[in-house]
Chains A and B, each alone.
Chain A
Amino acid sequence: MNHRFVRLAETNRARVRIVIDGQPVEALAGDTLMVAMLNNVRSLRESEFGDGRRAGFCLMGACQDCWVWTAHGTRLRACTTVVAEGMNIVTTQPEATWANLA
């Protein structure tokens, strides 16, 4: 099982291609980044403090649990960001080199 969310309807939408951890995957236009990701992988990020993977919590921009890193070192709040063609997300913590990417 390589995804977490399950699409129940509205599947007749244009495809959007993004990259997660170097792998090209497909989402649908109108998906939030979180939904796009969780229809392809089971989690969004690694918790900073050792308790494991996180997959968001509130879906309304309140809990701040769904912030993800892009491959370019920027940060996106997945549940309030609309998925866009070409988004390039990494679901693991970048190492200290994040500070050198500018």
Chain B
Amino acid sequence: MSALKADVIIVGGGIMGASSAFFLRQRGLSVILLERGLIGQQASGVNFGNTRRMGRPIEQLPLSNRSREIWLKFKELFGTDVELLLNGHLRAGFTPAHEERMVKYAEEAKSFGIGMQMLGTKTLHERFPYLAPEITTGCYAPHDGHANPRLAAPAIGRAAVRAGAQVFENTEMTSLEKDGGDFVATTADGRIFRAPVALVTAGAWGNRISTHFGEPVPMIAKSPQMCVTEPVPYAIGPTIGAIAETFEQVVYFRQVARGNIVIGGGGHEPADIDKRRAYVNPARTLYKLKSAPRVMPAFDHLHIIRVWGGIEGYMDDSRPAMGPSARVPGLFYAFGFSGEGFQLGPGVGEVMAELIATGATSTPIECYHIGRFATPVANAA
């Protein structure tokens, strides 16, 4: 069977892959995107939907800022409204120690244009009267916000197709090999694809491919534990996250324009990447029921109507594998965003396209190089 050829093969159609496909097309490169299921079905579609910059590791902020510029033009660029609401992000704390942490971060991140404001108790409760009295301190990033993760990656994927990317859904890649100057991908339905460049954006499954090329990464698959309330009148502008001492106490929430309040936290469950199953543990739902009213007492009056989980890839050091391969020319990675990838998605796509097309990117991503996991033995091989 003759192979379908392009400049770049992208493996994995989440927000990273879809976005990379779109931006590679903007640069005139031909793209084949292989997705086993449907675009945006895995981590990209089940995450909390936060598009915050505040709180990210400092070294991630340039990438996050770059991505934000694209989010601001989402409808214009990708043609779909994905319910982006930029009513801020509020980090809430209960103790002076929490205040200290937030002040420290605000100081470290002050040159990145996030516009963070520390709020004292009185101001906090005046501006956000629904907060529990136990919340004494907060840091507010007025320009952050949230969007609908179920819509975003599929919208970018459709835009990539309109821009000329060849996207193959329901197409499972069974092997990826380097053959001379080309990468050759074979799929379960017997098709063959060739390109001189391969980009692995396979999320929780990225490690399988990188391991195959001699670059294993310490990543595990976990399921976020999400739930959502019935729709109630719109009252909560910012996404809100409360500082917690334990994973069980972690709670964050956002209200969508239609009124439902999405609530995450309470820890994670293991996810099965072989069976592609992820479950929500009722105990973790109950943790959220307990911790959410500690932040907003009115939660006690509401009801959860649905829970969901999914499969996300978490690296040991909570940083992605992003950039060129350390071992194989023409191979690139952008996976393992450890539960923080949604906001970065559009920016990652733009950066990877820039990197692949020009050989370099203006956004610092060296600390995400997959080579950081290489052992001396592997290097010598």
Binding site for B on A (CB under 8 A): 48-49, 64, 67, 73-75, 93-102
Q: List 24 A-B contacts (CB under 8 A).
A: A48-B258, A49-B231, A49-B258, A64-B305, A67-B230, A67-B303, A75-B301, A75-B302, A75-B303, A93-B233, A94-B233, A95-B233, A96-B234, A97-B235, A98-B233, A99-B129, A99-B232, A99-B236, A99-B298, A100-B129, A100-B130, A100-B298, A102-B297, A102-B301
> Which residues of A lie under 8 Å from residue B69 when comparing CB positions?
none
> Which residues of B lie under 8 Å from residue A75 when comparing CB positions?
230, 301-303
Q: Are B300 and A98 in contact (CB under 8 A)?
A: no
- Considering only residues 95-137 of chain B, those with a C-beta below 8 Å from chain A are 129-130
What 12 new A-B contacts, CB under 8 Å, besides A73-B301, A93-B233? A48-B231, A48-B259, A64-B230, A96-B235, A98-B298, A99-B236, A101-B298, A102-B130, A102-B297, A102-B298, A102-B300, A102-B301
Q: Identify the closest chain A residue to B300 (Cβ).
A: A102
User: Complex formed: what's the CA distance from A56 to B50 in Å?
Assistant: 35
User: Complex formed: what's the CA distance from A51 to B158 in Å?
Assistant: 31
- Considering only residues 184-242 of chain B, those with a C-beta below 8 Å from chain A are 230-236
Binding site for A on B (CB under 8 A): 129-130, 230-236, 258-259, 296-298, 300-303, 305
* Highest count of chain B CB atoms <10 Å: which of A97, A99, A102: A99
Q: Identify the closest chain A residue to B259 (Cβ).
A: A48
Closest 5 CB pairs of A and B: A102-B297, A96-B235, A99-B130, A99-B235, A99-B298
Of B231, B296, B303, B305, the residue contacting A99 (CB under 8 A) is: B296
> Which residues of A lie under 8 Å from residue B230 when comparing CB positions?
64, 67, 75
> Which residues of B lie under 8 Å from residue A101 when comparing CB positions?
298, 301
> Which residues of A lie under 8 Å from residue B231 when comparing CB positions?
48-49
Q: Identify the closest chain B residue to A97 (Cβ).
A: B235
User: Complex formed: what's the CA distance from A100 to B132 in Å?
Assistant: 9
* Highest count of chain A CB atoms <10 Å: which of B231, B236, B298, B305: B298
Q: Identify the closest chain B residue to A47 (Cβ).
A: B231
> Which residues of B lie under 8 Å from residue A100 when comparing CB positions?
129-130, 298
> Which residues of B lie under 8 Å from residue A67 when comparing CB positions?
230, 303
Q: Are B298 and A96 in contact (CB under 8 A)?
A: no
User: Complex formed: what's the CA distance from A36 to B302 in Å?
Assistant: 23
> Which residues of A lie under 8 Å from residue B259 when comparing CB positions?
48
Q: How far is the CB of A58 from chain B (nearest CB, A)?
A: 16
> Which residues of B lie under 8 Å from residue A94 when comparing CB positions?
233
User: Complex formed: what's the CA distance from A94 to B259 in Å?
Assistant: 12
User: Complex formed: what's the CA distance from A73 to B233 in Å?
Assistant: 12
Q: How far is the CB of B172 from chain A (nearest CB, A)?
A: 38
User: Complex formed: what's the CA distance from A96 to B296 in Å?
Assistant: 14
* Highest count of chain A CB atoms <10 Å: which of B231, B235, B296, B301: B301
Q: Are A73 and B298 in contact (CB under 8 A)?
A: yes
Q: Identify the closest chain B residue to A93 (Cβ).
A: B233
> Which residues of A lie under 8 Å from residue B233 when comparing CB positions?
93-96, 98
User: Complex formed: what's the CA distance from A27 to B235 in Å?
Assistant: 34
> Which residues of A lie under 8 Å from residue B300 when comparing CB positions?
102
Q: Identify the closest chain B residue to A49 (Cβ).
A: B258
User: Complex formed: what's the CA distance from A49 to B256 in Å?
Assistant: 13
Q: How far is the CB of B88 from chain A (nearest CB, A)?
A: 16
Q: Identify the closest chain A residue to B261 (Cβ).
A: A99
> Which residues of A lie under 8 Å from residue B301 when comparing CB positions?
73-75, 98, 101-102
Q: Identify the closest chain A residue to B255 (Cβ).
A: A99
Q: Identify the closest chain B residue to A75 (Cβ).
A: B301
> Which residues of A lie under 8 Å from residue B302 when comparing CB positions?
75
